Chains A and B, each alone.
Chain A
Amino acid sequence: MKLKIGIYWGAACGGCDVAILDTHEKLLEIADKADIYLWPLATDFKYSDVRAMKDGSLDAVLFSGGVRNSENEEIAKLLREKAKVMIALGACAQGGGVPGLANMYTREEIMRRAYIESESTDNKEGVVPLERSTAGPGYDLELPRLYNTVKTLSQVVDVDYTIPGCPPASLQIYSALGLVWDDMLPKKGAVIGAGDRALCEECPRKKSEKTITHIYRTHEKLPDAETCFLEQGFICLGVATRAGCGSRCIKSWTPCRGCYGPLDDVADQGIKMLGALASVIEPKEEAAINAVLDSVVDPLRTFHRFSLASSILRRRKE
């Protein structure tokens, strides 16, 4: 019997959906094995159709994106009811992703910046989107509420499995779906479609003793072809990041930014990276250490680029 699956996006860019499409001809195989009942990016559907389904009638739901507004949350909860297996797809669903960095600001600050202050905005009257408009008779219109705090999928509903990555490697999505139709899913809560070691273990670059005396951003220096990026002074999150991406950034001469998320049992990927980076800085005296640290631009967002919403502190305190 054909499986029934749903694919949905919350606070995401759509890159995860594109990664599914990027399975190329294997997409036909997916369509052979499963009927897609819901996929906003690619198919026509109505929420009412989903509501009409029996609970648990979808064999699996791939949910990409974090939960950043009331629509995301409502649909996440709806799909959880309809899905036998809920899979968080991609860095945003897993750790908030780049949209999760909004947790460094409040909702009001974001609305003001986006609709009033930004350089390209011409909005002298200060018009901002209303959540509800009843202008005129017979009108009662709603927009979803933008949240103050971006949440990961698992902070809102029970998540069975996670496929990490920004975006997840297409073949990894395909192989993870294989686990669903072959009924080979591991223990609940597992990360699927990825490795269980740090990226460093797969990285082809040469590694030796690390002693950093200056941190470079990628545009400031050309890395050499063979040596570990961290040894050359580039912040590479490979030490604190799960393998499974196929070292795609590393092979393109780009240090890891951490999109595959933390390893098992790591409570906070960003703070782990902070600890790792600080421990390989060479100087021992406070002033000299601080001189090196001055070259770390925006450490918090660099370490937590994809994982702020799932980190221990989760947001800026007000």
Chain B
Amino acid sequence: MYKWFLAVRYLHTKLIAFFGVAAVTLCVAMVLVVISVMGGFLDTIRARARGLHSEIVLDAGTQQGFPLYDEFSRYLAKHLPDVVRLSTPVIYTYGIFRVPADETTKPVRAMGIRPKEYVQLNDFAKGLQYDHYYPGSTHMGPQQMPLAGFSESGGLRLPPDLEAAHEAWRKQQDPEALAEFDAVPFVYAPYPFETSSSYGQRVFAANAGPPGYVDAELPGLIVGCDLLFHRRPDGKFNRYLARGAMVTLTVLALSPSGNPLGEPPVRLPFRYADDSRTGIFEIDSLTAYVDFDLLQAKLAMDAQTLVDGGVIKPRVNQLLIGLQKGVNLDAGRDQIAVAWADFRKSIASELTKDEQLALNHVEVLTWEDLQRTFIAAVEKEKVLVTFLFALISVVAIVLVGCIFYMIVEKKTKDIGILKSLGASANGVASLFILYAAVVGVVGAILGTVIGSLFVWNINAIQDYLAGLNPALRIWSAEVYSFDRIPEDVKRADVIWIGSAAILSSMVGSLIPSAIAGRIWPVRALRYE
């Protein structure tokens, strides 16, 4: 009984125990902050990566793509209706993106999508900037440039359909969001210029006439926001290009066998319809989204009739497949892989050599498989950082060991007294181990409180520090994919870190405790 009693009581009065508790507290807080931030980082990356794709992707594995995607899509609908919810083809190719207004050129990955299907499979719609404030206004069909102008009432207004869409948005917002919007509704580019002299979150061309639409109809293009605009440290973008401004894509068509078709690269004009933010910088800085049918045709990936009367089947680079609710991801992938193998067998006799080769490269992947390299890199980073901090925490074990050695030295007389009262060597040793456990428990609790408070307020702390000196901003939204540092503390992390801290304290005290247990009572009683 005396062991528990003294273990708790020693904590009350010993200054030296404070150092033990402080060491454990700091280590727990440190590891908790690192794990929480890195874990939050990883979770956000995973959520964003998940939002990029459908659950299952039938990937061509080649640039020239694979045929028979529509047939397989129908095959899935017929044979796996309980597994497959929806499928949609995607084309991607690489080219050059150009903004004629300021002659910016960038390398780009152009993705051909069917927007109505595509947005049902992932979070693409959530990341559209203009579609957020003017719901339903973003599309990839032919469109002119919207032009703000002066209405009869005298204010600078957008075309009526955009104003109506915006009014619909306003009805669903809280006063805070409305106030934020109204503070800076949009900046304007003085038409016929398509760029604004100042940056804004929304940019429209404007002139002194009435609002409306101007210039030639061109298909719409949605651009990854990092591709076109610079990201500020606060996570917002310096938009300068008017919505609807002309941009161009230059792409190279490939034959079914992967050779250039021998024609000059295709230069395609578009209107900048919106910009998209998936949250993954590597995607947002490289991707432009255009209409699937248009891109397929321009890349000569649509059905082609040969001179000899033969037909080259249309090709795509991916078939995105959404699973029915409740279907396990890996099980869904396996079922679709089996279906794919069966489908191939059923059409094997009809395939040309090029088609067979193209289908040989096709893989059935989950979104996790597709992003494995990316996610694995972040996972490894988390493990590495955790390991490094855990290594630092080993210092805490040694520190606890040193502190307990000093405590044992200081309490030598107590050990003599206890032994003179009949306490055993094991009892005395376990008293100090329990004392270490109590130090560990208190340190773990305090560390959890401090670490959690730090994580929960990490962005506020950073904002405060950045207010004092901008160089103190550690997490720059300019660099990372997210505006804010992850602020979640997971209960499981708290439990394992706390348990490890208590165990570490006990391990740290083992040697001093063993020494305490072996102290000869007569020596202890004479100790000065």
A complexed with B: no
A residues engaging B (CB < 8 A)?
Answer: none
B residues engaging A (CB < 8 A)?
Answer: none
